[in-house]
């Protein structure tokens, strides 16, 4: 059985919570760690295991205030893994949260939506979540 993966937020890296039992992932905050590949490696490995073992539908809450170009590539890798999970029969929904006054974050979410075959919900919020 997959264990919960929780990574505490840092100034340069987001909070991450992944729970296979609940079929829930949350990635929240800013992402510009010095070595993006090392930071995101456990997340991608967890998703590989979920593809093999996971049984539930999956909901991903992406609540990003800022991410650099290197992080954007790894976020896309996460979405590709979720697309594989969805295609294996476990429905995946991506909840893309963006500050109501930040069109750039909304646009990025819409770009990602066009790159993968996943159900996206774009959700604006007024205050910091």
- Concatenating the DSSP letter of every residue in 49-105 gives HHHHH--S-EEEEEEEEEE-HHHHHHHHHHHHHHHHHHHTT--EEEEEEEETT-HHH
Q: What is the pLDDT of residues 80-120, one digit of tens each?
A: 999 999 999 999 999 999 998 889 999 999 999 999 999 99
Residue range 26-52: mean pLDDT, rounded: 96
């Amino acid at each position: 059985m997959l264990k919960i993966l929780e990574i505490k937020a840092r100034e340069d890296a987001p909070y991450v919570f992944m729970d296979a039992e609940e079929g829930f992932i949350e990635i929240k905050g800013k992402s510009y760690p010095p070595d993006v590949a090392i930071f995101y490696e456990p997340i991608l490995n967890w998703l590989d295991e979920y593809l093999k073992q996971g049984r539930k539908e999956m909901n991903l809450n992406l609540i990003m205030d800022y991410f650099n170009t290197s992080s954007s590539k790894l976020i896309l890798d996460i979405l590709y893994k979720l697309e594989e999970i969805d295609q294996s029969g476990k429905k995946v929904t991506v909840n893309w949260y963006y500050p109501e006054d930040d069109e750039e974050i909304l646009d990025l979410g819409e770009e990602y939506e066009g790159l993968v075959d996943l159900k996206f919900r774009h959700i604006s919020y007024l205050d910091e979540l």
